[in-house]
Structure 1
């Protein structure tokens, strides 16, 4: 289960920072739940709720949520491509091909 500190960082990242940067970065999504889906799916390596019961912020192990946060931070820094991460997520959900 994620710690309160990790959950706070998760929400700051996915509810504030990433949506605030979405338009200027040309990201394919702009809503918080989309960033959460993308980052969690890529941290898990499949559709996240195949492994973690909802709500993920409460039920994900701390190390998994930390991996998802690291992916979001890397997307902000430009060392991960959010478009690729989104394509992976959609493919795991049967909506596209893996990047």
Structure 2
């Protein structure tokens, strides 16, 4: 019995249909199937996929060995389960492997970048760690 056939089918289903459809509906950071392919393949091979696979042979995911294919499906399943927060982390790493900056976090989220000149988590009295070291941190709510 060929274990690859169901994995290849699941990869296609997740990367080419399910993840992009959910991403558009839920407004994830990435919505295009080729971007999901980049992210999933990069994490399956541990770096830029085109440094490991032949970008001239298409589709690239069919070149994955059995362990890499299993890893790719596992990554795609995790994205499906965890959604945009995990996708943002994986996309940022994929972009770093390419020497590119990560996309900014959506406004109003805990991972949103701090304004220039301020540390993330800074308040007018400093970061939470600075306040704690000075004993000026607000008491936590009961």
Question: TM-score when scaled to structure 2?
Answer: 0.61
1:72 aligns with 2:76: yes
Higher normalized helix content (fraction of residues)? 1
* Runs (4+) off by over 4 Å: none
Give the deviation of 1:77 after TM superposition. Answer: 1.0
The 5-angstrom pairing of residues 31-70 of structure 1 reads 31-54=32-55, 55=58, 56-70=60-74
Contact 2:8 / 2:62 at 8 angstroms: preserved in 1? yes
Question: Which structure has the larger Rg over C-alpha atoms?
Answer: 2
1-structure distance, mates of 2:26, 2:92: 17
| Greater RCO structure (CA 8 Å; 6+ sep) | 1
- Aligned-CA RMSD value: 2.0
Counterpart secondary structure, 2:37: helix
User: Size of the alignment, in residue pairs?
Assistant: 96
Question: TM-score when scaled to structure 1?
Answer: 0.84
Per-residue CA distance 1:22-46 (angstroms, 9 max, x = gap): 0343321111111010011112121
